[in-house]
Structure 1
């Protein structure tokens, strides 16, 4: 099990769902929808915001990893957050980001 530091706002969101019966029943910290449902939400948001790029959960994970690197998050931590078993799986994000702090 990993310990990941959270901002206060993120902690409040987790606390809000800590007593949610659906989350407790599924053993999840947050309500989780399928990738298909999440991708349709992302498409809807892209249309509302006039974003021409196809947004997907894969794109969101990739963006998170690149931004986290640029803000100085250690590669090992990003690997844990993304659920990668080896840091080498995450290392390609460092090559994509020229502002990454390694």
Structure 2
């Protein structure tokens, strides 16, 4: 893919919610899933967009938000610590 086309595609995801990003289970490719929405008056249906970067050797993510919104964005009680621990390779019940 041409770099300019990729840059334009990523610019179009600005101000939408990144709902997941990270390396695939096989650790070769990097995926980004975006929930794209528009003003309801436009009639555009919200959708999830998946971008898969194949053979990705490095990925860097940045946010334009300062630290404070991240601190108050979600309650830690909503995190399923068992699932996080299993994904990190910790045995169940060790959280």
State if a TM-score over 0.5 links the two structures: no
- Give the TM-score normalised by structure 1: 0.25
Q: Higher RCO, 1 or 2 (CA under 8 Å, sep at least 6)?
A: 1
Find the structure with the greater CA-based Rg.
2
Greater strand content: 2
- Give the TM-score normalised by structure 2: 0.26
